[in-house]
Amino acid sequence: SQTIHQWPATLVQPVGSPLSLECTVEGTSNPNLYWYRQAAGRGLQLLFYSVGIGQISSEVPQNLSASRPQDRQFILSSKKLLLSDSGFYLCAWSPRGAGNEQFFGPGTRLTVL
């Protein structure tokens, strides 16, 4: 069966510090991968998605970047965090192809102080 891991589960970082959140998927090959951010009491905002190694589509221009160095690894990064980067970050995968259901990781709660 497929599983998706995210770490860390929680993170408190000062403004201006760098960020690296990691997501890995097991039990499947060639997945589509996604990074979302969820503000308190709100829906999900798609940040990045990837349909293959090295292929990244950015949905919202901002302070963040994403990379996919391996087929089942997706990394969300920032060089300098802003207060507005605080939120709940969710990684998800879906089977190859368009419009499929997505399977979410447990999320990372990021607080920028």
Partner 1 sequence: SQQGEEDPQALSIQEGENATMNCSYKTSINNLQWYRQNSGRGLVHLILIRSNEREKHSGRLRVTLDTSKKSSSLLITASRAADTASYFCAIVGGSNYKLTFGKGTLLTVNP
- Positions in the binding site for partner 1 (CB under 8 A): 32, 42-44, 46, 49, 51, 57, 59, 88, 90, 92, 94, 98-107, 109
Q: What amino acid occupies position 33?
A: L
Q: Which is nearer to partner 1, 41 or 69 (CB)?
A: 41
Q: Which is nearer to partner 1, 44 or 67 (CB)?
A: 44
CA distances from 31 to 72, 80, 104 (A): 7, 29, 13
- State the minimum distance, in angstroms, from the CB of residue 113 to partner 1: 19
- State the minimum distance, in angstroms, from the CB of residue 110 to partner 1: 13
54 touches 112 (CB < 8 A): no
Q: Which is nearer to partner 1, 15 or 60 (CB)?
A: 60
- State the minimum distance, in angstroms, from the CB of residue 10 to partner 1: 10
Rg of the chain taking only CA atoms, in angstroms: 13
Q: Which is nearer to partner 1, 59 or 79 (CB)?
A: 59
Going by the DSSP 8-state scheme, the letter that residue 97 receives in this structure is S
Residues 6+ apart with CB under 8 A from 101: 94
